[in-house]
Amino acid sequence: MSSNKKYWKSVEELNENSSIVETLRNNEFSEPIPTDEFLSDKESLSSSSTTRRDFLKYVGFSTAAATLAACEGPVHKSIPYVLQPEQIIPGVADYFATSMFDGFDFANLLVKSREGRPIKIENNTIAGAKFTANARVHASVLSLYDNTRLKVTKVDQKDATWAAADMKIKASLADAKAKGGQVVLLTNTLASPSTEKLIADFIAQNPNAKHVVYDAVSESAALDAFEAVYGERALVDYDFSKANTIVSVGADFLGDWQGGGYDSGYAQGRIPQKGKMSKHYQFEANMTLSGAAADKRVPMKVADQKLALVKIYSIITGSAVSVGKLANEDVVVKAAQQLKAAGAKGLLVSGIQDKNAQLLVLAINQALASEAFSTVGTRQIRKGSDAKVTQLLADINAGSVHTLIMSGVNPVYTLANGKAFAQGLKKVKLSVAFSLKEDETASVTNIAVPAPHYLESWNDLMLTKGTYSIVQPTIRPLFSSKQFQEGLLSWTGNAASYYDYIKANSGAYLNGLTWNKAVHDGVVAGVASAASAGSADFSAAASALAQSKPLANFELVLYTKTGMGDGQQANNPWLQEFPDPITRVSWDNYLTVSKADAEKLGLKNEIVANGGLDGSYATVKVGATSITVPVIVQPGQAVGTIGLALGYGKTAALKEEMQVGVNAYALYNNFDNVQSASVDKADGTHEFACVQSQKTLMGRGDIIKETTLTVFTAKFDEPEVWNPTPMVSLDHKEVAATSVDLWESFDRSVGHHFNLSIDLNACTGCGACVIACHAENNVPVVGKSEVRRSRDMHWLRIDRYYSSEETFEGDNKKKEEFDGLFGEKGSLGGFGQMENPSDNPQVVFQPVMCQHCNHAPCETVCPVAATSHGRQGQNQMAYNRCVGTRYCANNCPYKVRRFNWFLYSKNNEFDFHMNDDLGRMVVNPDVNVRSRGVMEKCSMCIQKTQLTILTAKREGREVAVDEFQTACSSACTTGAMVFGDVNNKESKVAKLAEDKRMYHLLESVGTKPNVFYHVKVRNT
């Protein structure tokens, strides 16, 4: 039966009298289509050049053409040299020995160069090369290809030539000479014998000139103290490998304290051998790398540190200095007594920026007759004098400086009163800045000269007295830059090139070597005499220091971050994306606040839904200056202190993405890193890019195994006590996890089999490996917001874990003692508590990269067999085969696989170095640049192992013992990472694999990794 329902298409139809309905019933459209009108316009129709048929022809042709064109491969051009340099063979890397010193960082280097492009920094391992590269030095090769560098000379902010600028400077110098005006050369510490000689030449010709040395981050106190005692402005070059008992009072010697570079010496004493390892006490305010490595760390205000130092002094020397009430007196006394007992094997260092404190350091080490303390071969890398810089500022503001020539400094940014300096520059007749970038200073001077990068210039260096290093260019200058020294040569009327000048000047330092040999080696080890034994009134210094009063407010302790240093390389995306080893935050600086203070002030950190970390803002007020910074609640921060990193908040000559953080130099009054500050909560929340939200280890002893030296020595022959093999249940019986396997094992005894050993005792978390891996493997930079989404691409991460109790041991104990769900020992509340790190936690670093499992879970789930296992132990990843299902990443127990969510090269959305032609010059041509939608991970530097094998084959020899290297193992100077062939029983790694401390990460999973770790032993 049919229905009588009436269907309607619009409400309009319900209206019987609607005109529209009537119209629509007859016509399709309610309004007439103006076809006639259009067609009747004969004129426009006939004058139209395109007929309908033409149009269709065009469409057809262009579709066909596009289709055909798509079938054609692109035409590649290949352009050989007209005159090929003898040394360059396309496709073969050359290595050049050089050295670097930028006023902050220094190192003896080998620079890997391909087809004339330096692409990677390696350590110079020749005898005599003392200083190895840290993370920032490894990244400095990318700063060479920085597109925001100053490219041409600017006169009054307009493009000009060097000749014009030179003429102006010469005229101004002549004018100053005639009128008796003051000429000032303001430079960073030079540590270059030739440059210093040139400056002496210049001052001889211009008696009205003076040279002022300015270090952005001052070490003036230590320099003043050393000068007072030994009559030489230098720093002691400590030998930490000779110290058995190390007491550090506020010195982050594994960081940038007095230039840094002490980690390899320190690590030598940290590997327990025959029951012996060094003992390390650390008294500090901020949580630092040194504090993390210490056996006993005591969070302490700087004011208390001063008193502690006096206390230690009085115990060691036996001089009676009355010290007021001291926090943690028992630990201080214990440390002092152990130090005294260690005698010549003891060492005390301090980072307190106070001349009296630094005098006591000298006194204590003299009294100990410490072997690690020597005045032979002192460090020349800091020379700045706070007093002289202050004087210069006064002179400038008084208008008594006629010509100011600056090199390697950026005082407008790095001075606390930078604005005043910029104002003062207007009173200077001529101001000149030699600068890599058109930074805050170079953009307000009369003349800005582009300085060459160290990889583009000649120089000589004397980093420590007696060792002579040579800086040689590895590429032609990219821009029309002029070196400061070339300017000096021009102004002193010297026609020689700076290269000739250095060469002529080098005779005294070459120690019998030829110049060519010295350039080839990069470094000449000489002999230096010790400074004559000196003394000063130490007890007066002690009494003066004992009088120091605590600050009324919060103690703001300014520090330099491992990734950023003094901020010279702020435009380096590798460094910006490098997560801080302690806080694991990248792309930011922040106020570190202790948990107690944070609660008091209402400052919070929380993990939000997308996994990102949010933090409150706080306003920090020092004197009249106040800045608003985001807050990180830092376990281990001394109560009553706050920390803030220098080197951020730059804006001049910086890509927009890099303009992150706040400028803490604004609070760096009187070059004192400790300031009295008030803190208030400010509105809003800050979005951090933090790569690790899991803060504590939660007592999971199978990830990081830790023991104490006492247990380790007592039970050395029973490793199952301190290095237990995890047990699993097989047929309802507990058996060792290593004995159970899902898979049949292949024979791995033939050929090479690569293993990587990581010693948790030697790892200081310095991060050199992370940047070296970035450079070697073309790891992309993804930017702050992507890092926040956990899409960072680091192939190698250094996990940092805090303990929830005072020690990791305490965590384990607490976890074991959980009993039931509720109550005091209930696991329900207990696990929640364990998520919170203790106020003074133990810290451990664990570098994690692809573990190259012999029984890899990722390989079995790949639907397209894009990841497979090599016979040499490497888990291989064929990018071109990957379809991006990400099954492998989900099945990886170590979470080391990184996915390319976007195309990170040649993409304006990711405007980092891979988006400009200059920045792409750093790309390693032997490694693929991965595309979007592809999984990637650590390859165990297969390009390097393959090259080593090929070189041996070509030379018809076996691969030498320990010849195999990865980027991370060769960058690691503490000996924490050792790579090699375990099938070669002579190799270091084969011996390490047999070590009793050896364990695999998450052994219970049964993945049989080719990366193994060594149990951390703490000398508590």
Partner 1 sequence: MKKMGNHNSISRKIVFSLALMLTFSFTSFSQETPPAAAADPAAASAAPAAATGGDPVAGKALFNANCAACHNLDKKMTGPALRGVSAKYDKEWIYKWVNNSSALIKSGDAKAIKIFEEFNKSVMTAFPQLSTTDIDNIIAYTDEKKAEPAAAVAALPGKGADADQGGISNDVILGALALVMLMLVVMLFFVNNVLTKVAKSNNIEVPAKQGVSLWQAFAKNQFLVLVASIFLLLSSGYFVYGWMMQVGVDQDYAPIQPIHYSHRIHAGSNGIDCKYCHSAARVSKNAGIPSLNVCMNCHKNIAEVADTTATPEYSKAFYDGEIQKLYDAVGWDKATQKYTGKTKPVKWVRIHNLPDFAYFNHSQHVTVAGIECQKCHGPVQEYEIQKQFAPLTMGWCIKCHRETDVKMEGNAYYTKIHEELSKKYGVDKLTAAQMGGLECGKCHY
Binding site for partner 1 (CB under 8 A): 71, 73, 75-84, 89-92, 747, 749-751, 866, 868, 870-872, 874, 876-881, 926-929, 939, 942-943, 946, 949-950, 952-954, 956-959
Angle at 267 between CA 265 and CA 269, to 5 degrees: 85
Closest to partner 1 by CB, 53 or 77: 77
CB of 481 to partner 1, least distance (A): 25
CB of 955 to partner 1, least distance (A): 8
Secondary structure element (H or E) that encloses residue 107, with its range: strand 106-114
Closest to partner 1 by CB, 492 or 868: 868
Closest to partner 1 by CB, 404 or 796: 796
Closest to partner 1 by CB, 467 or 872: 872
> In 3D, which of 151, 149, 110, 219 has the Cα closest to residue 568?
149
Alpha carbons 754 and 981: distance in angstroms, whole number: 5
CB of 80 to partner 1, least distance (A): 4
The strand pairing partners of 184, in sequence order, are 210, 404
Kindly list the distances between the CA atom of residue 371 and the CA atoms of 239, 301, 347, 361, in Å, as whole numbers in the listed order: 8, 29, 8, 14
CB of 980 to partner 1, least distance (A): 16
User: For residue 469, how many C-alpha atoms fall within 13 Å in the half-sphere facing its CB?
Assistant: 31
Closest to partner 1 by CB, 868 or 891: 868
Alpha carbons 679 and 556: distance in angstroms, whole number: 10
CB of 892 to partner 1, least distance (A): 17
Closest to partner 1 by CB, 9 or 954: 954
Q: Which tokens sit at 578?
A: 């490098």
Closest to partner 1 by CB, 84 or 480: 84
Closest to partner 1 by CB, 551 or 929: 929
Radius of gyration in angstroms for the set of CA atoms belonging to the chain, rounded to a whole number: 33
Please, what is the angle between helix 193-205 and helix 484-491, to 10°?
Answer: 30
Chain position carrying tokens 């830790």: 706
Indicate the residue type of 382. R
CB of 517 to partner 1, least distance (A): 25
CB of 986 to partner 1, least distance (A): 13
Closest to partner 1 by CB, 469 or 939: 939
CB of 297 to partner 1, least distance (A): 42
Alpha carbons 916 and 924: distance in angstroms, whole number: 15
Sign of CA dihedral 20, 26, 29, 35: negative
Closest to partner 1 by CB, 537 or 958: 958
> In 3D, which of 992, 958, 994, 956 has the Cα closest to residue 976?
992
Alpha carbons 450 and 523: distance in angstroms, whole number: 27
Q: What string of DSSP letters covers 653-688?
A: T--GGG--S--GGGG-GGG-SEEEEEEEEEEEEEEE
Secondary structure element (H or E) that encloses residue 436, with its range: none
Closest to partner 1 by CB, 57 or 953: 953
Closest to partner 1 by CB, 828 or 950: 950
Chain position carrying tokens 């000063």: 536
CB of 878 to partner 1, least distance (A): 4
> In 3D, which of 802, 792, 818 has the Cα closest to residue 896?
792
Give a three-class secondary structure readout of 404-440. Answer: EEEECCCHHHHCCCHHHHHHHHCCCCEEEEEECECCC
The strand pairing partners of 93, in sequence order, are 114
Q: What string of DSSP letters covers 270-338?
A: TS-BTTB--EEEEEESS--HHHHH-SEEEE--HHHHHHHHHHHHHHHH---------TTHHHHHHHHHH
CB of 875 to partner 1, least distance (A): 8
Q: What string of DSSP letters covers 337-393?
A: HHHHHHGGGEEEEE----HHHHHHHHHHHHHHT-TT--STT-B-S----HHHHHHHH
CB of 1018 to partner 1, least distance (A): 38
3-state DSSP call for residue 727?
strand
Closest to partner 1 by CB, 36 or 744: 744
Closest to partner 1 by CB, 840 or 943: 943
CB of 527 to partner 1, least distance (A): 40
Closest to partner 1 by CB, 680 or 859: 859
Indicate the residue type of 52. R
CB of 981 to partner 1, least distance (A): 12
DSSP state of 464: B
CB of 74 to partner 1, least distance (A): 8
Closest to partner 1 by CB, 76 or 476: 76
Closest to partner 1 by CB, 399 or 751: 751
Burial classification of residue 494, based on how many CB atoms lie within 10 Å of its CB (0-12 exposed, 13-18 middle, 19 or more buried): middle
CB of 946 to partner 1, least distance (A): 7
Alpha carbons 752 and 694: distance in angstroms, whole number: 37
How does 676-697 read in b/e, with b if 16+ C-beta sit within 10 Å?
A: bbebeebeeebbbbbbbeebbb
Closest to partner 1 by CB, 73 or 318: 73
CB of 265 to partner 1, least distance (A): 36
Give a three-class secondary structure readout of 135-175. Answer: HHHHHHHHHHCCCCECCCCEECCEECCHHHHHHHHHHHHHH
CB of 866 to partner 1, least distance (A): 8
Give a three-class secondary structure readout of 800-815. Answer: EEECCCCCHHHHHHHH
Angle at 367 between CA 365 and CA 369, to 5 degrees: 65
CB of 116 to partner 1, least distance (A): 13
